[in-house]
Chains A and B, each alone.
Chain A
Amino acid sequence: VPGSVTSMMQTGITQAREFDDPAGLHEKTEFLLREWVNMYHSPQAGRDSFKAFNAFVQQMHTQGILKTDDLITRFFRLCTEMCVDLCYRALSEAGQSQTMIRAKCFHTLDAFVRLIALLVKHSGDTNTVTKINLLNKVLGIMAGVLLQDHEVRFAEFQQLPYHRIFIMLFIELNAPEPILEAINFEVLTAFCFSHVFHILRPAKAPGFAYAWLELISHRVFIGRLLALTPNQRGWGFYAQLLVDLFKILAPFLRNADMTKPVQLLYKGTLRVLLVLLHDFPEFLCDYHYAFCDVIPPNCIQMRNLILSAFPRTMRLPDPFTVNLVVEHLPDINKAPRILTNIVSLIQPASFKKDLDSYLKSRAPITFLSELKSNLQANPQGSRYDIPLINALVLYVGTQAIPLLQTKGVSMSTIAPSSHMDIFENLAVNLDTEGRYLFLTAIANQLRYPNSHTHYFSCALLYLFRQANDQTIQELITRVLLERLIVNRPHPWGLLITFIELIKNQNFKFWDHEFVRCAPEIEKLFENVARSCYPQKQ
């Protein structure tokens, strides 16, 4: 579609690599940019530089810049390059203080940002499409110049000019003004989803990662996307950006290979999650599945931050209450919102078909014996397809819950059933790694009081009780315990499940050898147990 936003941005990116400028354009642009910087800083500029802008547009006309779209695009590209060059020169000057260098850069960058904001605001009169097209084009040019600069300079790449331009432009375009409010959603779209911030995600421009993290965690940005945009229309955009962030960290976290730079990025990520957990817990609730799918299984605390989120209107009963009857909680039959299409993740289609027919008819038995190899198929790093295990576990659970509506979900009602057949088969037939991933997928559903938490809590306890092999019980204990020995927060459902396991005599928890396998483990269990019976101390 000509004129669509993505194509505008793509044109911008491509045009950032064109260098066959007409003769004299470079000089004209340089002259105009210098003029504008002076006008912007002069006391006569008027409120929001408006007077200066009117005079400047005249100059642009006189110089013939506004004649064609192509010339305007080139003008922006050249301006961006000039601003960037100026920053590189300033940053390389020896003997200057940080403050002086910064002031020098900001002097030009801020003027340029204001020029862009004014041009976007006043282009095409009341025609919002013109404004948005211009913005997308300009952002595309910036992204193009950045990617090129990043590639060419490699280790010498500087984040500063781009960081400053993006955040200042974002703030300018989110000012409380009617013209801007009319296009606000399109502005947000241009900045985040599949657009400029996503194009510049850390995997694509790792040298820009720290500035990028600052951009997406800026209070104005989070506020706009998660709080001020009606009907949660900004949530999906923001979730995509967080997934981009988790993805670059994943291989390094998984390998526990934490160089200083990775540690810093990780620390920043935890801070963003803490802010979100405190201010927008519903956001973390809704997207927990998508996030846990890309966070490596060994990142316990990072996942706990996400899984501990619960809706602000909910009051969680204290998990340590004596005789707490989970079945009687008002929210326990309500399904949580999952904003990921789980069904589409169960691939290939033939496997999904076999799965559904097994769930329906509990046959053929070969489905179970082939299950392991179906999950092993694919990729690098693990012998298992982790996203497929996650999707399978949640899908089977959500299929089971409605069928139990009349009887109620409990350890005595969830089996026998085709659903528990699958879970029991996985627990028995997978090797240690596969079981660990399977149990992790279950534990990811142990959150605030809801139907999934309840079902998977029962399922996990059922698997523990039915196990005829201590190694399964040891592994279940491990998956629960390793999520509880890290620092808070701890998900409510996880605590409930663990307390039930060690308190309820039916599980004979304390009779197991692995509880006493080593003095420090024994001590650990005693400590945890003590915190589970606070009233007795």
Chain B
Amino acid sequence: GMAPLGPIQLTKDQHYQLSNLEAAYHHLPHPSDSERMRHFLPRNPCPTPTYYPSATFPHADTVELYQRCSTETLFFIFYYMEGTKAQYLAAKALKKQSWRFHTKYMMWFQRHEEPKQITEEYEQGTYIYFDYEKWGQKKKEGFTFEYRYLEDRDLN
């Protein structure tokens, strides 16, 4: 038959192993079991047609690619994919586009014009920011950006 050396009689232990494997096969590990919890975008595997892409395209995890994404996309990644490499890359791309993160308001700000006033502790002027609750960009005039709330870690 198929066994070139002839079949061996399975031992009692091996029968036990086989039946346990069969039982375990009915509740296999899920991909999410070995990764950090995703609060907003949990993994949800389902059968997809073969004519759709089944994997991300190559080089999808480079900062160059993230720089080509819209700011909206970057904000989405930043707020909905916490603690992932994607969040890190999104933050990096936002910084490259002169967005600055405010650690008290937990929002991203961008100068709308040169600040009216710049001191050692703060700058003041008109800013665009991204409101994650209303989910859109807003303008704020006469806003004081205190530097102690500026997230300025080097993302390299």
Contacts and interface: CB of A to CB of B under 8 A. Distances in A.
A99 B45 CA distance: 10
B24 interface: yes
A381 B8 contact: yes
Nearest to B20: A206
Contact of A255 (B8, B20, B23, B44): B8
Nearest to A91: B27
B33 A163 contact: yes
Contacts of A158: 27
Contact of A298 (B4, B18, B22): B4
Contacts of A382: 5
Nearest to A100: B42
Given A99-B44, A102-B33, A209-B24, A255 B7 contact: yes
B32 to A, nearest CB: 6
Interface stretch (B9-17, B62-70, B74-82, B107-115): B9-17
A206 B33 CA distance: 19
11 contacts: A98-B30, A99-B44, A110-B37, A209-B20, A210-B28, A214-B33, A251-B14, A254-B3, A255-B7, A265-B21, A380-B8
A155 B19 contact: yes
Given A98-B30, A110-B37, A103 B1 contact: no
- Closest 9 A/B residue pairs (Cβ): A206-B20, A256-B2, A155-B23, A381-B8, A261-B25, A206-B17, A261-B21, A207-B20, A167-B34
B30 A298 contact: no
B29 A159 contact: yes
Interface in A152-192: 154-160, 163-164, 167-168
B37 A206 contact: no
Interface in A186-233: 202-203, 206-211, 214-215, 218
A102 B7 contact: no
Contacts of A327: none
A237 B11 CA distance: 28
Contacts of A251: 8, 10-11, 14
A83 to B, nearest CB: 14
A297 B8 contact: no
A106 interface: yes
- Interface size of B as a range: 20 to 34
A256 B8 CA distance: 10
Given A102-B30, A262-B21, A265-B21, 18 more contacts: A99-B42, A103-B42, A163-B29, A206-B17, A208-B24, A209-B21, A210-B29, A211-B29, A218-B34, A252-B14, A254-B8, A255-B3, A255-B7, A255-B10, A257-B7, A259-B22, A264-B25, A264-B28
B20 A154 contact: yes
Contacts of B23: 154-157, 207
Contacts of A536: none
A160 B27 contact: yes
A214 B29 CA distance: 8
A209 B16 CA distance: 13
Contacts of B18: 206, 252, 259, 261-262
Interface in A417-456: 433
A158 B33 CA distance: 12
A211 B30 CA distance: 9
